[in-house]
Amino acid sequence: MKVRFAMSEMMVVFATGLLWHNIVAASCVFAFACVCAFMRYALEFNEKAKQAEAQKEAVKMLNEQAGDLGEALGQLFSAGKKKNKMNVH
């Protein structure tokens, strides 16, 4: 996990300093900082989930295209080897 010192962390430090003056305001700032940190975590988690889903979709598409390519090449190379099954020799 990355160590950050962003806005939410700065608000926690501010709330700690504000404790000396006003406990209610410090509690409100701390709660807001926690909510902001959770929202940031949720957005990052959602972004990672979307990236994983996009990778799975890309792999699925590549597998389908590889299968189609294999079928096309199989038909192309088997066209010259067609045998007439009506002749019995």
- Contact in structure between 40 and 6 (CB atoms under 8 Å): yes
pLDDT digits (tens, 9 = 90+) for 40-55: 999 999 999 999 999 9
pTM: 0.61
Cβ-proximal residues to 35 (8 Å cutoff; 6+ apart), any chain: none
What are the residue boundaries of the structural domains of the chain, listed by start? 7-78
pLDDT value at position 82? 60
For residue 52 the two structure tokens come to 């994983």
pLDDT value at position 14? 86
pLDDT digits (tens, 9 = 90+) for 63-81: 888 888 888 888 877 766 6
